[in-house]
Structure 1
Amino acid sequence: MATFTKLCVTFSILVSLLACFTNAQLSPNFYGRTCPTLQSIVRSEMTKAINNEARIGASILRLFFHDCFVNGCDGSILLDDTATFTGEKNAGPNKNSARGFEVIDTIKTSVEASCNATVSCADILALATRDGIALLGGPSWIVPLGRRDARTASQSAANSQIPGPSSDLATLTKMFQNKGLTLND
């Protein structure tokens, strides 16, 4: 029962994050014509991933949370370092702890095979998060789609905006307030 309660609290925070970081006009039917099999592809791949390792559902949720906390839910956490920027993957709160990148890569490959150059990685991460929670016995919800993928990332923003594992309650409260979230959220 305690696990389900934690999952519900996490879900509430996730929904609040989605509301806070959504600037575009998103729609659950965004890919209805261009990629009608999207949701079934994501669900199928998440089912395989969770059957392989149940804990990956929580890891995908954490990946999404860390993505949304830095410049909104834009998939920037998925970007590898380049010559022009250092990404978020190796920021302090993510290094050696953020996981599930390979699951998102696998889902993206499957989606691309069906709907080439159509679906953003940011939307795939959002759908994978929803499906991971639902497959583990938590709630499900309609995911608004149409996010644009980030073209850059910021390790310094990730270091300063994502709560660290040793953050105390006052720090956590302040960091969530900086994102427009209340104690109830």
Structure 2
Amino acid sequence: MPKKMLSSIILCLFFIHIISGEAELQPGFYSKTCPEAESTVREIMKKAMIRETRSAASVMRLQFHDCFVNGCDGSVLLDDTPTMLGEKLALSNINSLRSFEVIDEIKDGLEKICPQIVSCADIIIMAARDAVALSGGPDWEVRLGRKDSLYASQEDSDNIMPSPRANASSLIDLFAKFDLSIEDLVSLSGSHSIGQGRCFSIMFRLYNQSGSGKPDPAIEPHYRKELNKLCPVGGDENVTGNLDATPALFDNQYFKDLVSGRGFLNSDETLYTFEETRKWVVKFSRDQQAFFDEFVKGMLKMGDLQSGQPGEVRRNCRVVNNPKSCDKLPLLTF
């Protein structure tokens, strides 16, 4: 190999810190390298939620949309480039995923106290946990040590992430691909205990369910009137409605609403109308602690999803570290 190319590769590796294979995740991963990491994330999340309560649900949702697409690698945070279409404009994400600026704020805070130590992928995992805990939900010890991906894929996101029209059967199949059980599916769907959804996501179930020209019969009549008023035909489909009756509090009200036919999204209500998932909805509607326990298990299992691809610790969560001089160099893995 020419000396000039070898020296360029060495320089690139200095900036990129590429590794390959799956990271060994463990609790307290930053206890020595950045002992204030987790407390810093929680403090910034707390401030973000004071500014806007909805940011808790938005940040938590990032874990789902990151981990299901090629593992928990921070790929969902990458902006598009001239040579890469990222995941932010994927069908399930465009005009929907938000609060990226909260992750930026957390990253900036961490870079000030321990530069290029804490990955953006780990920030998502910590911030999602904190969003739940600070909203009145369970708290848990997260496993950390992820690296950030070197790419993102809009195509992969389009092919993997479900739409609001999804039914329980298709969701069961999707979760099974990641070794997540039916109970995991129902408990993790309880993430909709906080937050809001857009009218765009429910217009079909209000006015043309399954092409019938009629509303979804599973919607409780009084609730349907509320939704019709919120989301009229020809209205602004970016208007948002609460996903359950207590949108700022992480509790089991979501499941109680499903039992009473007051689920906002089709993908939510179908969990109660479908036989294989109904028993878990009923269980969690009656036992909040059981929901909390299973939700934590599900979040940990989902957080363990990895792609095994090379990664780095990004300095900026929106872009990879590679300097322009590295663009045409061969990708090295070890």
State the match for 1:111 in structure 2.
110
State the match for 1:19 in structure 2.
none
State the match for 1:157 in structure 2.
156
Aligned amino acid, residue 34 of structure 1? T
2:126 partner SS: helix
Deviations 1:62-91 (CA, angstroms, capped at 9, x unpaired): 111010010111110000111221110100
Deviations 1:5-44 (CA, angstroms, capped at 9, x unpaired): xxxxxxxxxxxxxxxxxx4311222111111111111011
Unmatched segments (≥5 aa) in structure 1 = 1-22
Aligned amino acid, residue 77 of structure 1? V
Aligned amino acid, residue 111 of structure 2? E
State the match for 1:143 in structure 2.
142
1:129 partner SS: helix
CA distance in 2: counterparts of 1:133 and 1:34, whole angstroms: 26
CA distance in 1: counterparts of 2:52 and 2:138, whole angstroms: 19
CA distance in 2: counterparts of 1:26 and 1:40, whole angstroms: 19
State the match for 2:98 in structure 1.
99
1:124 partner SS: helix
2:96 partner SS: coil
CA distance in 2: counterparts of 1:35 and 1:84, whole angstroms: 34
Aligned amino acid, residue 118 of structure 2? V
CA distance in 1: counterparts of 2:98 and 2:114, whole angstroms: 25
CA RMSD of aligned residues (A): 1.0
CA distance in 2: counterparts of 1:183 and 1:34, whole angstroms: 38
CA distance in 2: counterparts of 1:155 and 1:32, whole angstroms: 35
State the match for 2:87 in structure 1.
88
Deviations 1:157-183 (CA, angstroms, capped at 9, x unpaired): 100111111112222121111222121
- 1:136 positional shift: 0.3
Alignment of 1:28-177 (within 5 A): 28-177=27-176
CA distance in 2: counterparts of 1:95 and 1:166, whole angstroms: 16
- 1:61 positional shift: 1.2
More contact order relative to length (CA 8 Å, sep ≥ 6): 1
Aligned amino acid, residue 114 of structure 1? I
Q: How many residues align?
A: 163
State the match for 1:179 in structure 2.
178
CA distance in 1: counterparts of 2:176 and 2:152, whole angstroms: 22
2:93 partner SS: coil
CA distance in 2: counterparts of 1:136 and 1:116, whole angstroms: 29
Deviations 1:66-117 (CA, angstroms, capped at 9, x unpaired): 1001011111000011122111010000000011101000000000011111
Aligned amino acid, residue 107 of structure 1? I
State the match for 2:11 in structure 1.
none
- 1:153 positional shift: 0.7
2:32 partner SS: coil
- TM-score, structure 1 as length reference: 0.85
Aligned amino acid, residue 48 of structure 2? A
Unmatched segments (≥5 aa) in structure 2 = 1-21, 185-334
Aligned amino acid, residue 43 of structure 2? S
1:125 partner SS: helix
